[in-house]
Amino acid sequence: MKTNLLSLLLLLSAGTLTAQADNEQVVTVNGQKSAKTVSKLTFSGDNVVLHFADGSTQTVDMESVTIAFTVVDAIKTLQTTDSEEPILYFDQQGRQLKQAPVKGAYIMKRGNKIVKLITK
């Protein structure tokens, strides 16, 4: 736990960390997987109108369409931004601390980024 906290503090002292994850969309029409990405769905009676990201459309019976979304949870992009802002620590009552407590729950702030930490 102390190693995780130390790693987090090092990352925050080096800058801001952003990780991005992608969602994958699988569209199947009449049993055939579509290579296009659906950007919008509209309905007309028992039919669904698939509006694709490339601007094209396709109207099909609702029962013949399956759309599945999967989350790709691997980190794709990692960016750090150097910051000269000091790290400030606060207790649960909002009082500023001189340093990070070894144990307990507290708030860590750097620039406009705020993180709640709990250490055991």
Structure-block tokens of residue 29: 């029409």
pTM of the model: 0.41
Tens digit of each residue's pLDDT, the chain (120 residues): 444 444 444 444 444 444 444 557 778 888 888 888 888 888 888 888 988 889 999 898 888 888 776 665 555 555 555 567 888 889 888 899 988 788 888 888 888 888 888 887
